[in-house]
Amino acid sequence: MFKNLRLRLTIWFVCLSAVAHITTTILTGVLFHNQLTAAIDSELAELVAEHLQNIDYTDGHLSLPTATRSFSAKPIKLLASIQLFDANGNFVQETGAPGVTTMYPRATEVPLHGHDLRSLSRRILDHGQLLGYLQVQLPTDARERAESDRLLMLVITFPVLIALLFICGYYFTAVAIKPIEETFSILREFMINAGHELNTPLSIAQAALDNLDRKGAKQADVLKKVSVIKLSLTRMRNLVDDMLLLAKLESDKATTRTFKVLPFHDLVRETLEHIHPLLEEHGIELSIESTDNVFVRGNMFQLQQMLTNLLQNAITYNKQGGTIKVSLKSTDQNAQLTIADTGLGISEQDLQRIFDKFFRAESSRSKASGGSGLGLAIVKNVVEAHRGSIKVDSELNIGTTVVVSLPAVAQPANTHTIPTNS
């Protein structure tokens, strides 16, 4: 698909470049022609000025000295035809090379034996009285030769130029479409992973439903299957919610318009209260080391999501009877939140990938946790959207410490209080 696109883009590039090249060639050709013509005209004007001085006027007759050729300094002037006409435009005399002995009042080009002659005339005046005309003609062969040489060179170099444009275009389109290709492969991978993640709860729910369909199922069995279906639906719901949130975060990353100054300490306390039942369920002890009053500018829902995900991980991947220590400090210009658990830990290898979408460490606990593998990807996006940073230190079987730093802001005059959902 991309190979085809690359070829199409290259062909477009070559065609447009060729059109641009041909247009500029035509325009510069016109300029070149005009310049060469102007050069001939200036030669003609010089010749006219030179010969005007040599005209003899006796007894009402105009004449030119016949030895005109010998005075010429430039070789081109040897090819000039010098012509005299009377006041009525009738031909009188011609010296130099043969020309077209017709009077042309304006500068023009006239054909002679398959060649063109450029012709220029001037009035011959004596005290304001018109005596006649002096006309000079020069062949335009040199101009035509220069033009056809230029054209020949352009025609010869054109295929070379097209070949070079094609090679360069083919190379640069590869560079240009690389990010598109990467985005496509990320999207494809995301879809495969999402499909895979949805497939598991779907299969479980399907199997449970098939079982329910059978005749003679006991009431207790039915209830069991219904709870399995409910759990599968919850998993799917969580996965879809996470996917939608992540998509929204990724597209709104630069949107800080909705951000408000929030008491981060209140948000942390709120979330700790919410996850309390989960702590009891897992038999984990939580200690709060410090909660400095610190304000951040941000989106309340996103920050709550970030805190929930981090705390859920600290609980889910902890050991029975393990502990979690939470501290919130106001350091220089930052709100620094530390969540340290005494859980399974993460291997050095996995540590590089924990923020990847759908990544879960190989431990059976991670697979069975019911998580989507999107939690930390969401956390990372939230932190980045808030111009903060996140650091994870971990040691297998010892525990994990996550440190989130967000830029702190001054306490506003009328501080918001966080509404409680419960």
Tokens of 300: 């309340």
Decide: is 298 part of the binding site for Mg ion (CB under 5 A).
Answer: no
Assign residue 333 a region: left if phi > 0, alpha if psi is -120 to 50, beta otherwise?
Answer: left
Angle between helices 219-251 and 141-213 in degrees, nearest 10: 160
**Closest CB to ligand ADP among residues 192, 222:** 192
Size of the site for Mg ion (CB under 5 A): 3
Residue 263 interacting entry, from ligand ADP, Mg ion, none, C-beta within 5 to 8 Å by type:
none
Which listed range, 69-77, 147-155, 310-318, 347-355, lies at the site for Mg ion (CB under 5 A)? 310-318
Q: Whole-number minimum distance, CB 237 to ligand ADP, in Å?
A: 14
Q: Whole-number minimum distance, CB 353 to Mg ion, in Å?
A: 14
Phi, psi angles (nearest 5°) of residue 256? -115, 10
Q: Whole-number minimum distance, CB 299 to Mg ion, in Å?
A: 20
Taking residues 312 to 341 in sequence order and writing x for each that binds Mg ion by CB under 5 A, - otherwise, the string is -x----------------------------
**Closest CB to ligand ADP among residues 260, 353:** 353
Decide: is 343 part of the binding site for Mg ion (CB under 5 A).
Answer: no
Helices (H), 252-299: 264-274, 276-282
Q: Whole-number minimum distance, CB 315 to ligand ADP, in Å?
A: 9
**Closest CB to ligand ADP among residues 333, 349:** 349
Decide: is 388 part of the binding site for Mg ion (CB under 5 A).
Answer: no
- On the 0-12 / 13-18 / 19+ scale of CB atoms within 10 A, 39 is middle
Task: Tell me the residue number closest to ligand ADP, measured at CB.
Answer: 371
Nearest to 117 by CA among 42, 48, 54, 41: 41
Q: Whole-number minimum distance, CB 309 to ligand ADP, in Å?
A: 6
**Count of alpha carbons within 13 angstroms of residue 375, beta-carbon side:** 21
Phi, psi angles (nearest 5°) of residue 275? -90, 5
Residue 354 interacting entry, from ligand ADP, Mg ion, none, C-beta within 5 to 8 Å by type:
ligand ADP
Q: Whole-number minimum distance, CB 275 to ligand ADP, in Å?
A: 13
Tokens of 136: 């000079």
Residue 228 interacting entry, from Mg ion, ligand ADP, none, C-beta within 5 to 8 Å by type:
none
Which listed range, 182-190, 308-316, 344-352, 392-400, lies at the site for Mg ion (CB under 5 A)? 308-316
What is the rounded CA–CA span in Å between residue 202 and residue 222? 18
What are the residues binding ligand ADP (CB under 6 A)?
A: 309, 313-314, 317, 341, 343-346, 354, 359-361, 366, 369, 371-377, 400
**Count of alpha carbons within 13 angstroms of residue 297, beta-carbon side:** 12
Q: How far is CA 333 from the centre of its chain?
A: 35
**Closest CB to ligand ADP among residues 92, 233:** 233
**Closest CB to ligand ADP among residues 369, 389:** 369
Nearest to 139 by CA among 186, 96, 188, 203: 96
Nearest to 136 by CA among 76, 220, 207: 76
**Closest CB to ligand ADP among residues 101, 323:** 323
Nearest to 8 by CA among 165, 159, 169, 163: 169
Binding site for Mg ion (CB under 5 A): 313, 371, 375
